[in-house]
Structure 1
Amino acid sequence: MNRKPKLPLIPGFVVHKPKENYHLPQCWSHIGNTRILVEKKHADNNWILNDGKILCFKAYFRQNLVGSSGSAQFQIRKVKILFYMEDGTIQVVEPRTDNSGIPQGCIVKRQRIPCSSSTQNQCLSMLDLNVQKEVEIFDRIYIITDCDGFTRSYLNRAGIEVPHAIETPKDPIHLTREEMQESRPVAGPSKVEKKENKLEKFLRFDNLCLKFDAYWDDRDSPLGDIHDLIVYYYLSDDTIQINEIFKQGRPTTLYKRLKLPKRTDDVLMLDQKSNATVLNVLGRDFMNARCITDKLDIGKPNIDFYTDADLKIGEKINVFGRSVILTDCDKFTRDYYQQKYGIEEFIPIARPKETRWKQPYIEKVMPPYNGWGTFEDSESSCYSIQLKVPQRDMKKFLELDKCNLRFKAQMISNIDENSDREFVITYYLSDDTISVFEIGKRNACQSRDFLKRSRFYLPNQNVYTSQRPLAYTPQMFYIGANVNLKGFEYHLTDADEFTLNFMESHSSEFPMANISSILSKIKEAITPNYKEFIGKYLNVAETTSKPDSLNICYDTTALALRDLLDNRISEHEIVTFLRYFSAKKVSNKSQILDRTTIQSLVQMALTTNLWDDLESIKEFMYDVAPDHHNGFMPPSKIRTIIRGCRIPIKGVMIDDMFSVLNKDSDGNIDVNDFLYFIDNKKCKAPPVQPINVYNENDKKSFNSSYRRELVDWAAFIAALGLETELKQETE
């Protein structure tokens, strides 16, 4: 065979054939009877746009019953016609019905259905499916009765009018079965005992129990007494638990949760043999074996246990030889017996008060503290032999977690360098601990933890005793107070905004922030010389645009209060007074910003995050609240729509936007106004300077803004109420 020599495939020996055809790939398509040229990418775009979109129609067809001996000659079968928009395929599915007697499920697999009346190989399309239409699929006629909400809205947007739903005719086979079921005689009681459904009973009565107060009289035995008990009857599994209550300490379990037999003779002891039938034993040895018993319980003793019908006030129950008498029950137990057994009277029984023997109370004396560890650890080691970690107050921790009082302080020292040092003292309300942080200064020291977080005790105490020493409380920290922590004395000079607000909101616990006590103290001191005091300081008052307002600066007001009360008023009380009667009324952002500014900020946030999907909001709005056709919707539903569509608007801006939108008398928001508000194409708002509406005032900073504000003396004089009293005395 002759071989044709070829050049090796190495660089320099390969000859590339030049390209001759540069046209774009095209394909032919048919629309109606016209043949047109369509690019391939249009078909791909159609698939991408309609991916996952399914039109669902409810329909039925009539099936004739050939050779039927009954009265019904046909049968009505309900189906669902699914039209897949991505490729134009159709699927017919029949929902399954219990005891139908016919195979149900998928009737027509997903495929393109050819039109029966067309001879040009055309298939059924979206235009052929609509409510109140008849569709022929493979020589079977389906009558469409209804469609789902998405299909109806999609066809309406496409310009196709969807008629109202029609009623599906009733199936004669189904009607015949219902008549036979009604005419069937009711069966009598079965001779075979019905097995109790434990799962149904558990699901019905889970976490429900009957509670009885009871006592056990054990005075006949040596050193016996009357024991107070609580009997719990659990309705889910008919078990009983009995707890004993002591005057001091936690209750103990007298009888753990088990079924309580009425007779102790029926209970087998450890050395007695059982007559139960064992079918098999699985396991290698006797200790780890598992016995399979007979399900028919042949030979098993019949033990009678206590039920809810046996428990009532005044009844005695036998708890393995102990006679327990029920004296009272709670409200749920009374409602249960009244509803189930019709019992109306529940008369409590008095418990005997006489006791034959009384145990002497021995007071426990704690040993003195030796200096190792903390006082809590030393106390916990004395309560039990097994050492346990001291338990913290979880309720207090959950309520006051992250509630910290922060004060600015200066060190009191004879050394000049230490007197200029500034600190931040933090009091943690969740566990009553304190930490001290030093604020660094340039060319002096760095910021650092001066004292670690721990519990600090009051100075000048003998800690090596059996009594726990007194610790600092939050009421001891206020502006102007002096505290001694580990030998270092501090003077509190300021507090942050959160601390002042927290103390003023809990004024009953913090007397230095109680404006009522401060006003009563001022009123008591100012009453003898009221006219002289007011006339002395009204000369420096600054009048404002309001005719009834008189404003005086912070320093003058503080000086007036010190002259009036001298050492009987603290610096924190002065700060509370000035903050309460401040002339500057801080309003909300929604009141400061107008509608145009808020709309500009909202549209700026949407543009910054590249959000532009207004149509999805309208569809989602219809899915969430399809019954709101009046144009108004509750704010909670609109907030859900904003989160569901992932609109880049946060909580503060949402509240500001809701405050300026149009509302009805019930507080519902106008949907059209909301869509107009966020549409940055048709209703674009004028641009504004960016404002960080999410950044609230720094509540942890010591800005002391209240020292630069004016005090409204007109409100102060009105709060005292002495003007009215003087007028009444004059008259």
Structure 2
Amino acid sequence: MDGLPFLPGNTFQDPTRSKYHRSQTLGYNNGYAQQKRPEVGIGGVPIAYNQLSEKELDELSNFNPTLTYGQTKQAPPEDFIPAHVAWDKKVLRYYAYFKQTVHESPNEFYRVRPVTIYYYLEDDSIAVVEPVRENSGIPQGKLIKRQRLPKNDVGDIWHWKDLNNRTTVTFYGKVFYITECDKFTSDFLESEGIVVNEPDQIPEDPYLATRTKAAEIKKYNTPSSFDKLKQFLELDRKVLRFYCVWDDRDAMFGEMRPFILHYYLVDDTMELREVHTPNDGRDPFPVLIGRHKVPKNRSQVPSTHPSISMELTNQEVKDYFTPRDFSLAETMYIYGRKFLIYDADNFTKAFYYKNFGLTEFKQVDVEQRKKPLPKMEFAPYNGLGTLEDSLQSCLSLIPQPPKKDFIKMMENDHKVLRFEAILDSVKPEDAGRKFIISYRLADDMITIYEPPVRNSGIIGGKFLERTRIAKPGSSPDKPVFYGPDDMHIGSVIEIFNHRFVIVNADEYVLAYMEQHPGQFSANTVATLRNTLGSNAPKDEPIKAASMRITRQSGDLQRLVNEVKGQVKKIGITGKHRIDELFLRYDSNRSGFIDKAKLCDMCKAISLPLDDDVMNALICEITSNPDGQISLEEFRQFFEAA
């Protein structure tokens, strides 16, 4: 039966068939009746579809016929998309509210009812939904079902072009005020060329606010009974500290004196302590006002109080200073004295922030208000002696000899750099005069000697005694002296208004500069090489050259003894002075100082030591293998020195 062609005479009906009903062609989509294609035929017989495979569909979609003659057929127009398909599931959402008047109620006069307006672009229908509130007593939910809402009596309906933020719409006599919309709605309106207004806020419903406040958990604050025992347990050892100055400049010979105000929270007492500075000229009494409860106005007492025979009590004075009375950058009067509070410590600021809510603490610069203290000025150099000698006479009543770098003197003993120079003078009789300039490396002093010339009419010999020469233009306070790096071939040395031009030098000068390249510039060494030529052979000894001294076992001990002798001359006596010197370099308070700190200490007192001398000195001070020096060993070293 299935293989027979569909021709008259080849079709037969099924005698067992009993169902002849038609399938339903109507359906509902989103509440609307729509036609649909029947799924089965009459009586439930499956409908034969001319279905194509995926491969056949791809061939048909990619098939591009070409014609040999004539023009190709025009492409059919695009498929028409109806509005209910193009705008399906695209809804504009607005947030609005309306006010409802409440009659005959003493608790409320109106209610603010927020709603959500849905605008369906598919068919321009509108639905208004009110969010449900618990126990509101009002029927809520869908206020207006989805439908096209009439705009006026003419027959116009509300369109999405009529809806915007901060606008009023009327649906069936009820006025709604639109406050804002969601992002999709805003983007859609802007894409259509409509300017979206700024959003607005929905006002608060007074009745709901009253109900919310009444439903909150009630909290009751019990009055605090802050007795003395509780105050002692909570506020013991808690002290407010303020930095203040006593401005007494209005009085004769008055000045600004720094003080520290302590306020003890445990018993509401306070005290004033004076801040002393070295050599301030005042007696070392630290407390100006002892610790006690200070009244704001001591004179405000009853006139009947016998102040001659009785002291003031809490019955007469009841207004005392409290933490509320203290504030930064304000002047307060304590027993008639005027005190300016200019700063406080971190605990005090945290206390005021926690208890009073203060966040800004304005500090006052009181340094500018103080009178400038006179500074010691050194007398100008009078030309007698050296600058160091004149300075020592200004530092102490009994002048002490200036400290010398004896390590440098020992290392550079008998080392002299000699240069040949001629006198640069406009006088004809000074032409051709030659001098020998000797620079001592041990003490940086210069000696000038003029070789005698027969029948010259000038007495030769020592032209300048051993002295340090300052460069021209340097001030007496900070003089700059000539060094060996300033003396190269062709340089001009001005000594006491005499100009000397260096023209030659010893070979030892060149050898010394080559052995110490870090102390001299390349230009200085180059001028000497060009004048003196190449160096002598390494195996040939150089005349007047210094010997490379190797320290013997006794020399190291002798240097250590010299260092101890110099320490003894410093005159650090007294246990507290030794402890103060030790704590100055024990910054981390470990109780020990190492080799580096000891080197810094020696340099501070003009004792630059070599590594071998320093190691021998540490071995003599302590027996610790790590080289750590304790306070007790430090004391014993200074006491034995």
Question: TM-score normalized by structure 1?
Answer: 0.22
Question: TM-score normalized by structure 2?
Answer: 0.25
Higher helix share: 1
